[in-house]
């Protein structure tokens, strides 16, 4: 199996790097600037599970030589449109596109461009960042990649993907209900992002503040009400675990969107919060807290777009 990893940033570089380290046939599709960095310094992973510097196979869009068996799509939502054009020639009749983007909006975009059958589901859990030296630094120990056909079928191509993914570098799992797991991740990201970005603090700082625990609970309940109405209902196990995570008094957890906001980086407000608001409006569901989070984040994005 040949896999094309679109992007060699903190997520694609980590999972693709671990697969390459395990001897899998992995090629990274990157832009010229990142290609120059990788050629000069290699792909560097700094991790509690073992650090390594690799010499990965890298190509730019014009060098794609035909379809790949699988495409692991790891770009941010705001880079998706450009990426579609970049990797289009790598998608053949039997290619499995595995997107690890946040939310569900990208699934509609990919299906319109490549057809529903080409797009599988995928969820990644890892906390990584790209440092100033271009190294991929893992910030927590947990790392997993879950994938599957949207209809739950154990297709031949997904069985091949499962065999390819299983290596010592991270936990890999084939799911028979990947759509539900994608909606669950979105529910958690939207809640964590909205809560920490609105209140400008970690989970622990928020829930120990006056009214903070009640706010976190109400925000999560509002997200759940939307997801249950327009998507796939989360499991009771997920709801209990997520609620505990979002209300832990000693937690230093923050959303990656909050960390990006603090550092003046682009954020995925539309993908994580805006699309949830749009779906709530379409279903006639009140979502005042989520709408407030979107307004808050839109102020930041408008400020970034404004001329200096």
pLDDT at 168: 85
pTM value?
A: 0.92
CATH 1.10.1040.10 residue spans of the chain: 181-305
Q: Is residue 201's pLDDT more than 90?
A: yes
Q: Is residue 141's pLDDT more than 90?
A: no
Task: Return left, alpha or beta for 66; rule: phi > 0 is left, psi -120 to 50 is alpha, else beta.
Answer: left
What's the mean pLDDT in 281-292? 97
Give the confidence band of 75 by pLDDT, cuts at 50, 70, 90: very high
What's the mean pLDDT in 276-280? 97
Per-residue pLDDT tens for 148-161? Answer: 999 999 999 999 99
What's the mean pLDDT in 53-65? 95
Of residues 27 and 78, more confidently modeled: 27
pLDDT at 127: 83
CATH 3.40.50.720 residue spans of the chain: 2-176
> Please, where are the H alpha helices in the chain?
12-21, 32-41, 80-87, 105-114, 156-165, 178-199, 203-207, 212-230, 236-246, 256-262, 269, 275-283, 288-305
pLDDT at 132: 87
Per-residue pLDDT tens for 106-128? Answer: 999 999 999 999 999 999 988 88
The percent of residues above 70 in pLDDT, for the chain, comes to 100
| 41 closest CA partner among 27, 53, 58 | 53
Please give the Cα distance from 17 to 23 (Å, whole number): 10
Q: Which CATH number fits domain 181-305: 3.40.50.1220, 1.10.287.3510, 3.30.1360.200, 1.10.1040.10?
A: 1.10.1040.10
Per-residue pLDDT tens for 229-252? Answer: 999 999 999 999 999 999 999 999
What's the mean pLDDT in 138-153? 92
CATH H-level superfamily of 2-176: NAD(P)-binding Rossmann-like Domain (3.40.50.720)
Per-residue pLDDT tens for 169-196? Answer: 899 999 999 999 999 999 999 999 999 9
Q: Give the C-alpha distances (Å, rounded to integers) separating 207 from 195, 196, 286.
A: 10, 10, 24
Q: Is residue 308's pLDDT more than 70?
A: no
């Amino acid at each position: 199996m040949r896999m094309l990893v679109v992007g060699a940033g903190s997520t694609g570089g980590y999972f693709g790097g671990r697969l390459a380290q395990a001897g899998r046939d992995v090629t990274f599709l990157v832009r010229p600037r990142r290609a120059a960095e990788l050629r000069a310094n290699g792909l560097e992973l700094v991790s509690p599970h073992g650090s390594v510097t690799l010499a990965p196979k890298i190509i730019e869009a014009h060098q794609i030589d035909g379809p790949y068996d699988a495409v692991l799509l790891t770009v941010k939502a705001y880079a998706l449109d450009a990426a579609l054009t970049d990797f289009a020639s790598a998608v053949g009749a039997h290619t499995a596109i595995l997107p690890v983007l946040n939310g569900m909006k990208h699934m509609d975009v990919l299906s319109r461009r490549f057809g529903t059958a080409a797009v599988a589901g995928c969820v990644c859990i890892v906390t990584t960042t790209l440092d100033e030296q271009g190294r991929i630094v893992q910030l927590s120990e947990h790392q997993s990649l879950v994938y599957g056909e949207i209809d739950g079928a154990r297709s031949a191509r997904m069985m091949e993907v499962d065999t390819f993914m299983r290596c010592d570098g991270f936990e890999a799992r084939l799911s028979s209900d990947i759509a539900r797991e994608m909606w669950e991740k979105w529910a958690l990201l939207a809640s964590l992002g909205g809560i920490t970005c609105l209140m400008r603090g970690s989970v622990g700082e928020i829930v120990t503040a006056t009214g903070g625990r009640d706010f976190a609970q109400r925000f999560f309940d509002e997200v759940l009400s939307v997801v249950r109405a327009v998507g796939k209902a989360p499991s009771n196990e997920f709801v209990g675990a997520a609620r505990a995570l979002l209300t832990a008094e000693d937690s230093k957890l923050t959303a990656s969107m909050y960390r990006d906001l603090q550092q003046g980086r682009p954020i995925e407000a539309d993908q994580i919060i805006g699309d949830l608001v749009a779906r709530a409006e379409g279903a006639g569901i009140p979502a005042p807290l989520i709408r407030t989070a979107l307004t808050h984040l839109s102020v930041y994005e408008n400020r970034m777009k404004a001329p200096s």
